Amino acid sequence: MSRKTTLFHACLCACLCAGLLAASSCSQGPQNSGKAIYLDESKPLEERIEDALSRMTLEEKVKILHAQSKFSSAGVPRLGIPELWCTDGPHGIRPEVLWDEWEQAGWTNDSCVAFPALTCLAATWSEEVSALYGKSIGEEARYREKDVLLGPGVNIYRTPLNGRNFEYMGEDPYLASKMVVPYIQEVQKNGVAACVKHYALNNQEALRHEYDAVVDDRTLNEIYLPAFKAAVQEGGAWSIMGSYNLYKGQHVCHNQWLLNDILKGEWGFDGAVISDWGGCHDSDEAIVGGLDLEFGTWTDGLTMGATSGYDSYHLADAYLERLRDGRASEEVLNDKVRRVLRLIFRTAMCQDKPFGSLCSPEHYAAARRIGNEGIVLLKNDCSVLPVKASAKKILVVGENAIKMMTVGGGSSSLKVQREVSPLEGIKAAAGEGVEVVYERGYVGDVSGDYNGVVTGQDLSEKRSAGKLIADACAQAADADIVIFVGGLNKASHQDCEDSDRFGLELPYAQDAVIEALAEVNPNLAVVIVSGNAVAMPWVNKVNAIVEAWYGGSESGNALADVLFGKVNPSGKLPFTFPARLEDNGAHALKAYDPHSRTANYSEGIFVGYRWAQKQGIKPLFAFGHGLSYTEFSYSDACAKRKSMSENGKLTVKTTVTNTGSVAGKEVVQLYISDRECSLERPVMELKGFKKIYLEPGQSKEVSFVIEPDMLKFYDPQLSGWKLEKGLFTAHIGSSSEDIRCSVNFEVK
Ligand code: BGC
């Protein structure tokens, strides 16, 4: 039994015994000195909460509403109610930091498995893989005795410049909604709460504490809220994190509309709202504005991270004062306390939970599988990939082939037990007798530390940019295949929290390296490691392109599996790769301004492919795109009936056949067009997907059930969802730009 659990059990036994012998000696609460129902797990949760609440003093109630250290809040020691411990999230379990500081605590037993970034998970388009992710990371969190995992993130991909897109699940509300639910459910089976973040409208990092998101109700409801709603209502998330930005001029961590009206009111969320670290700014607003647990506030009179400022938190002494002099109501207080108790009872105080596991072979296997299924083959002309068995010399070029990517990027930074780099993965897959040569090609970010976790890699390089290219090209000339591994990294203004990218271009003049290699050797595969779309001015000069994402501990192995054909790629893009920044709605309308304190979401619902299709813009790579080493054919779509009533259902079907010579997986996607509507609707919207496995020559029937809810739009006049009669089209395809069959139907 672990230290924390042992302590908890000891305390629990002591309290129970004392409760039996002398009712008031241990559980001396303000009103209730009877039998401790709150400790009895056989009793209904709400009864236990009421019992605990009735025993707590005013001071104890306020005490559990704010942090006591960087990542923990106090329990109620007198009652044996344990502390609550949080951890980042969302790709692995963050190493321990000092009590009051961000610096490392210096533990030697807090290394973890890094799972691929959430963009990679979203690119698997597999709910089963999402469940595996949640189970695995939940077990790691549980083993490390964490109660709240700060993740997953589901902010919609509005601009490719957002430094934090890699922590989210792409541009489509339906895809993100489907993918987030199993992650949460499986994490929580470990007695660890998911804390879904960052609710809401945190779609850029520039001025993240200051910008006010100005968005219309339809856009809010159709694009930016659905994944959070699914997380709460279908995933049953036990906590949610308020975001840093503002909405309607009010910080979101204490926001009447988003927290009280929508989350707790409309959606019936019964969990706790946790502030993002330092996201709470005002006691009076925080008290009435729906915040339950305050973390990370930089308090007045203290410098960043100075010790013991916790009593000065907005929901600490300032709250007590207001309660004592009647400015704050005890009813509101009790609602917060109930929510935090509910969270503690579900997690820290839950006795019926597994013990978890850390760095297990199963977790490494899970990390590799998630990578395998999420890596996207964007282009593969002349069958450059998979690497031929006859290849005798493989040239690997690029900093990202060797750079550790699990350190950096902000709060998702990890301390891993191991990380297999792309170069190591390629060497292992190539095996004996194949010469694998490495050339740097360019110099990007040579640093490698985050809050005291250091990669220990020496990436210093003395050669000039020209010499690096010349050396790489010299090796490329007689290579059987050249694999360039570049992209972005976790440094500031790349894929990193607290800053946005400056542009869509690849940094560090990588374009020049790629162009030079393409001239020397047509057998070139470009692998992009990133969490964001990048411009590819060389797209027509390069035969093979792979999006590998941030793969975590097993990144190199997962990538090599795909490059060498051990795994047939089946990932599909969870967001559009625009050819130019101006092809993205927010940028076309100049609605994204990193220097403005107002973020006008003027493109409205036309985010990602919705914008590209409305404008007739051909993306560089479309939402839902991803190739395979085999081919899939689709039969015509059919529906038994061609009409449905307002509360009916309709099934559409197609048969998919693997017409190639290797087994593979295809993500069959359903999009729906509303052809007659009183409001403008997107050309089509994703409303279903299924990932199927097919042996060569095998066929499978894939069917989708269309229900009225899937056809509705948010009508701002009604402040609600509306289904209008008329003509619709169901499209089934391999991507949003590769529709293979369609069928019209009418809603009567
Ligand atoms: C981030 C959160 C994170 C928190 C704690 C904040 O800066 O925005 O995502 O969970 O820090 O590290």
Q: Pick the catalytic residue from 51, 276, 495, 561.
A: 276
Cα–Cα dist 520/334, whole Å: 70
Which residue minimizes the CA distance to atom 3 of ligand 1? 411
| Sheet order of strands, 435-439 included | 376-380, 544-547, 524-529, 481-487, 393-397, 435-439
Same domain, 580 and 569: no
Query: Residue 302's pLDDT is what?
Result: 45
> Which atom of ligand 1 is closest in space to residue 411's alpha carbon?
12
Which residue among 196, 277, 413, 492 is best mutated to probe the pocket of ligand 1, counting the most ligand atoms within 8 A of its Cβ? 277
Query: Residue 34's pLDDT is what?
Result: 83
Same domain, 591 and 707: no
Query: Residue 8's pLDDT is what?
Result: 41
Cα–Cα dist 451/97, whole Å: 9
Number of domains observed in the structure of the chain: 4
Same domain, 17 and 96: yes
Query: Residue 306's pLDDT is what?
Result: 53
Identify the residues whose C-beta falls under 6 Å from ligand 1: 88-89, 150, 197, 276-277, 411
Query: Residue 298's pLDDT is what?
Result: 74
Report yes or no on 396 lying in a domain. Answer: yes
CB 626 within 8 A of CB 664: no
Query: Residue 101's pLDDT is what?
Result: 85
The last residue of one of the domains, among 574, 601, 616, is 574
Active site residue 276: yes
Alpha-helical (H) ranges within 541-652 are 555-563, 585-588, 609-615
Q: From the CA of 296, how far away is ligand 1's center (Å)?
A: 9
The last residue of one of the domains, among 558, 574, 590, is 574
Q: From the CA of 226, how far away is ligand 1's center (Å)?
A: 22
Query: Residue 382's pLDDT is what?
Result: 95
Report yes or no on 182 lying in a domain. Answer: yes
Same domain, 422 and 570: yes
Amino acid at 579: A
Q: From the CA of 91, how far away is ligand 1's center (Å)?
A: 13
Structure tokens at 242: 């308020």
Q: From the CA of 178, how far away is ligand 1's center (Å)?
A: 24
CB 487 within 8 A of CB 401: no
Query: Residue 300's pLDDT is what?
Result: 54
Q: Judging by DSSP bridges, how do beta strands 449-450 and 664-674 pair with one another? A: unpaired
Q: From the CA of 92, how far away is ligand 1's center (Å)?
A: 14
Same domain, 294 and 417: no
Amino acid at 484: F
Report yes or no on 362 lying in a domain. Answer: no
Query: Residue 6's pLDDT is what?
Result: 39
Cα separation of the two ends of the chain: 62
Same domain, 620 and 698: no
Q: From the CA of 664, how far away is ligand 1's center (Å)?
A: 38
The single residue listed with the structure tokens 């306390």 is: 337
Which residue minimizes the CA distance to atom 8 of ligand 1? 276
Cα–Cα dist 339/271, whole Å: 5
Cα–Cα dist 713/217, whole Å: 11
Q: Judging by DSSP bridges, how do beta strands 544-547 and 524-529 pair with one another? A: parallel
Query: Residue 26's pLDDT is what?
Result: 37
Q: Return the CATH number at 674.
A: 2.60.40.10
Q: From the CA of 637, how far away is ligand 1's center (Å)?
A: 46
Which residue minimizes the CA distance to atom 7 of ligand 1? 277
Report yes or no on 366 lying in a domain. Answer: no
Q: From the CA of 411, how far away is ligand 1's center (Å)?
A: 5
DSSP 331-352: HHHHHHHHHHHHHHHHTTT-SS
Same domain, 28 and 152: yes
Report yes or no on 35 lying in a domain. Answer: yes
Q: Return the CATH number at 315.
A: 3.20.20.300
Question: What is the mean pLDDT of each successive set of 10 residues along the chain, which is 748 residues long?
Answer: 40 39 42 85 97 98 96 97 97 95 93 98 99 99 98 98 98 99 98 98 98 98 98 98 98 98 98 97 97 86 58 94 98 98 98 96 98 99 97 98 98 97 98 96 95 94 98 98 98 98 98 98 98 98 98 98 98 98 98 98 98 98 98 93 89 98 98 97 98 98 97 97 97 98 96
| φ, ψ (nearest 5 deg) of residue 707 | -115, 155
Q: Return the CATH number at 481.
A: 3.40.50.1700
Q: From the CA of 134, how far away is ligand 1's center (Å)?
A: 19
Report yes or no on 365 lying in a domain. Answer: no
Same domain, 190 and 257: yes
Same domain, 172 and 280: yes
Report yes or no on 356 lying in a domain. Answer: no
Q: From the CA of 67, how far away is ligand 1's center (Å)?
A: 14
Same domain, 410 and 430: yes
Query: Residue 16's pLDDT is what?
Result: 40
Residue 610 structural domain: 576-628
Same domain, 584 and 551: no
Same domain, 616 and 674: no
Which residue minimizes the CA distance to atom 9 of ligand 1? 411
> Which atom of ligand 1 is closest in space to residue 198's alpha carbon?
9
Please provide the size of the chain in residues: 748
